[in-house]
Amino acid sequence: MAGDEVDPVYFESSYYVAPEDKTAKPYVLFSAALRETGYDAIAKVAMHNHEHIVLIRPANDGLLLHTLFYPNELHTGNKVAPPAAKYTAGELDLAKQLVTKLAGPFRPKEFHDAYRESVERLIAQKSKGHKITPVKQPRPAPVVDLMESLKKSLASHGAPAKGTRKASTGAKSSRRRAA
pLDDT by position in tens, the chain (length 179) = 545 577 777 788 899 999 988 888 989 999 999 999 989 999 999 988 889 999 999 988 789 999 998 888 887 776 788 888 888 998 889 888 888 888 888 787 888 888 888 889 999 999 999 888 887 888 887 777 777 877 887 788 765 545 444 444 444 444 444 44
Report helix, strand or coil for 112. coil
Q: Are 69 and 55 in contact (CB under 8 A)?
A: no
Q: Where does the chain have alpha helices with state H? A: 24-37, 89-102, 114-127, 146-156
Q: Where does 38-166 have alpha helices with state H? A: 89-102, 114-127, 146-156
- The alpha carbon torsion through 83, 89, 91, 93 (nearest 10 deg) reads 120
As separate numbers, helices (DSSP H) first and strands (DSSP E) second, the chain gives 4, 4
Closest CA to 86 of 146, 154, 152, 159: 146
The pTM of the full predicted model, rounded to 2 decimals, is 0.54
Q: What is the DSSP letter of 160?
A: P
- Surface-to-core class of residue 132, CB atoms within 10 Å of its CB (0-12 exposed, 13-18 middle, 19+ buried): exposed
Q: Are 65 and 55 in contact (CB under 8 A)?
A: yes
